[in-house]
Chain A
Amino acid sequence: MSEIINIEHLKKSFGQNEVLKDIDLMVDKGEVVTIIGSSGSGKSTLLRCINLLEKPNGGKIYYKDENVLAPNYNLPKYRTHLGMVFQQFNLFNNMNVLENCMTGQVTVLKKSREEAKKTALENLKKVGMERFIDAKPSQLSGGQKQRVAIGRALSMDPDVMLFDEPTSALDPEMVGEVLKTMKDLAHTGLTMIIVTHEMAFAKDVSDRVIFMDKGVIAETGTAEDIFVHPKEERTRQFLQRILNVSEE
C-alpha cells in the first residue's frame, strides 16, 4: 500500500451544525486530488481536519499508518509533513519573503540558517519569487503573496501539500500565475490535496476529483468521470451552475 493519508468515518460539527458526516478518503503517494463542491459543503473543513487545525468529533485519520488522533501523538512534527496554503495567504507580516520561508526550517526542523536559506531560495525560485526575498508581505500583490506562501510550505519539504481555495481571494488577473505554479508542482510528483473552484484547473491537473455536498462525499472519480460523465444528479447540477457562471 502506498497510501499516505487514510481517513475513516470522519465527523465534524460546529455546535448543532454537522459539517462533515462520515467521510472516508484515502490519498496515495504522488496523487493529485481536488475537492470541489458548493460553499458550505464541508470541503475546507475536511482539509483543515487533515492537519488538525480543526479537531474532528469522530473518526480516524492515519498518516502512513500512524494514528494521528492518538492522545500523545506528536502534532507539531506531523504538521511539518503537511504543507498548507491558505485562501488568505497568511504570511508572517513581521518577516520578509526569505525569512517567511526560513523560520519554520530553523525553528521547527532545527536546520542551520545556511541550510534553511539554501532550501528557501530553491523553493522561491520554483514559485518565481526569488527576486523578492527582501520584500515585506505588505509590499507584495496578492498573487505574489500566495506564491511566497506556497514557497514557505514547500520549504518544510512536506510529503503532502494542502491547498485551501488558494485563488479565491485573488484578483482575476493574478489567478493565472498561482495556478501555473501549482500546475508545475503537480507535475513534479508531489502529493497534493486541493480545494478549489477553478474547474478547468481541476480538470487539468487532477488524478482524482471528489465532489462534496452537504458534508458527504457525493461522487468521486477521475477528472473525466466527474466533469464529462457525472453519475449523480447533484454533481450535474453543481457543474451546470458553475460552468454557466464562468461562461457568462
Chain B
Amino acid sequence: MKKKVSILSLVLLLLACVPGLTNEVQAQGTEQKEFRVGMEAGYAPFNWTQNTDESGAVPIDGDKSYAGGYDVEIAKRIADKLGRKLVIVKTEWDGLPPALQSGKIDAIIAGMSPTEERKKQIDFTDVYYESNLVMVTKADSEYAKAKSLDDFSGAKVTAQLNTFHYTVINQIPGVKMQEAMDNFPAMRVALESGTIDGYVSERPEGVTAESVNPKLKMIEFTAENGFQTSPDDTAVAIGMRKGDPDVAAINEILAGISKDERLKIMDEAIENQPASEEDTGSPILKILNQNGMLFLRGTGMTMFLALAGTILGGLIGLLVGVYRTIPISDKKSKRIFQKLFGWLLNVYVEVFRGTPMIVQSAVIYYGTALLFGFDLNRTAAALFIVSINTGAYMSEIVRGGIFAVDTGQFEAAQAIGMTHGQTMRKVVVPQVLRNILPATGNEFVINIKDTSVLSIISVTELFFQGKSAAGANYMFFQTYFIICVIYFVLTFSVTRILRLVEKKLDGPQDYVPIAVEEE
C-alpha cells in the first residue's frame, strides 16, 4: 500500500506531537454524533470521487461530489455499528495524519498501511484488508500461464517507484530487473509495447488492468509460490488518534466482517470504480464526461479564491501602503505606537513574502486547530491565506504606485489645505489604483495558478479535482492536460480582460476637448 511520507506531513506530525496540545481537540470530535472519516477519494478501488450516489457512494463533506470504494463500504459498516453518522472528509494524502491529529477527522480509512513509522504518530486498528502481490503480464505472452515466481525467470520486470513492489522483484530467480516507473498507466503502456514482460502489482490494480485492457493478464500466486511480504506492506488498517478509546470497538466491528465479505466488497468496488467503465473512444471525452462537473466546480472554486483573494489582498496592500506614508507624529506616545505598528507591518510583509504559500496554508489551517482547538472552515481558511499572502505582495506594489505619483501633487494638495488623509483619498489613491492595475492583474493570474497549492488543505479547487479524477481513472496525462488547458484559458482570458479595462480607463490619448473646436 501507500508508503510515501512527505517531509511536510512529517513536520506537521512533529507539530502534532507537542505534548498537551491535542487533547482538547480530541474531546471535541467524540462528543459529536458524527464519525468523520478522512480519505483521498482518489485511490481507486479503495476510494474515489464520483458525481452521483450510485452504488452506495456517500456525499463528501462540503462538496457536491460523492465518495465510493472499498474504504467507504468499510466506513459505512463501522459508522452503522457505532451508531454514528458517517461523514466523508476528502483530504489530501499528506494532510491525512495532521487532519487526524488536529481533530478535523476521527479516522483515516484510506488504504493506509500500518507501518512502524506511522505507528509512532497514530494508532491503527486491526487490518481490514490484506492484499497480495500479483504480476501483470501480456495475455498472449509465454508468461501468461505462469504459476510461480520461478516461471518469470529471465523476464524483464519492473514496478512502481518508491513502493515495496519494486523491492520484492529480486525474489524472482534470474529476473531482469528494469528501472522503476512512475505510475501504472506508464507500466501498462510499457507492457503492451513489449519493453517489459511484466510488472508487480496488487490484486485490485491487477483486476482493474485486466478489465480495462483485455490484452493484459493478472497472474495470482499461491502463498508458497508467490512473493514473501511483510504485513507492514500489504495490510491496510484504520488510522486513529493515539489513545482513542474507539479502537477496541472498531476492531470488534472489523472482526465481524468475514474474509469472504471483504473479498466481495473489494470485487464490487473494482467493478464499480470509475476507471472500469466501458471505453467510449477518446479518453479526453471520457474524462470530461465523467468529471466535467467536478472540473467546473473546481474552476469555480479556483476563480472565487483567486478573485476574492486578489481583491481582499489588494485592499490589505492599499491599507498597508497608505499607512506607511503617514508622517511621523510630533507627539511621543503616538510616535512610539506608530513605530511599533509599522514594525509589525514590516514583519507581516516579510514573513508572508518570504515563505511558500503551501507551507503557510498547512501551518495556518492545521496550526489553528492544533494550538487553539479552532476548526477553520476550509474555504474560509483558503481565502484568508490567499488574501494575506497577496496583501503582502500588494503592499510593496502599492508602495511603488505611491512613489510613482510625483511629489508635486502631494505639495499642491497640501498647499490648498488638504490633510494627509484627504490628499491620499482624493489625489493619491485614485492614481495609485491606476498605477498598480497591471501588477494587480499579474497577481490575479498568479493567484489563479497558485491556489493549486491549497490542495494541501483539501480545498476542492481545480488542481485538487484534477488530482482526484486522475487518481480514479489512472489517465494522468490526459487528465492533467485538460486541467492545464482550463488553467490557461482562465489566465489568458483574465489577462485580455484586464488589458481592455486598462485601455478603457486611460481613455483615448488624442482626445481633443470639444470646447477647443468652438474657438
Contact = CB atoms under 8 A, between A and B. Distances in A.
Interface in A204-227: none
A108 B426 CA distance: 11
Contact of A103 (B330, B419, B426, B431): B426
B414 interface: yes
B418 A107 contact: yes
A92 B427 contact: yes
Interface residues on B, range: 20 to 34
Contacts, number: 89
A152 B415 CA distance: 11
Contacts of B411: 53, 84, 86, 90
A131 B418 contact: no
A92 B418 contact: no
Contacts of B412: 84, 86, 90-92, 149, 152
B414 A79 contact: yes
B409 interface: yes
Contact of B516 (A78, A94, A131, A153): A131
Contacts of B409: 90-93
A198 to B, nearest CB: 21
Interface string A67-91: 0000100001111101110101111
A200 B70 CA distance: 98
A58 interface: no
A104 B416 contact: yes
Nearest to A48: B411
A84 B134 CA distance: 89
Contact of A108 (B418, B507, B518): B418
Contacts of A107: 418, 422, 426
A82 B411 CA distance: 13
A2 interface: no
A188 interface: no
A104 B427 contact: no
A132 B516 contact: yes
A139 to B, nearest CB: 6
A77 B248 CA distance: 79
B511 A94 contact: no
Contact of A93 (B416, B431, B514, B518): B431
A26 interface: no
B417 A108 contact: yes
A51 interface: yes
A153 to B, nearest CB: 7
B281 interface: no
A194 interface: no
Contacts of A76: 417-419
A135 B416 contact: no
B84 interface: no
A27 interface: no
Contact of A133 (B330, B507, B515): B515
A61 interface: no
Given A94-B427, A133-B515, A53 B415 contact: yes
Nearest to A77: B417
A88 B413 CA distance: 14
Nearest to A53: B411
A94 B416 CA distance: 16
Ranked nearest first, the 5 interchain pairs of A and B with the lowest CB-CB distance are: A131-B515, A90-B408, A90-B412, A104-B416, A80-B417
6 contacts: A76-B419, A79-B415, A82-B415, A90-B411, A104-B416, A131-B515
Given A89-B408, A131-B518, A131-B519, 4 more contacts: A51-B415, A80-B416, A83-B416, A156-B416
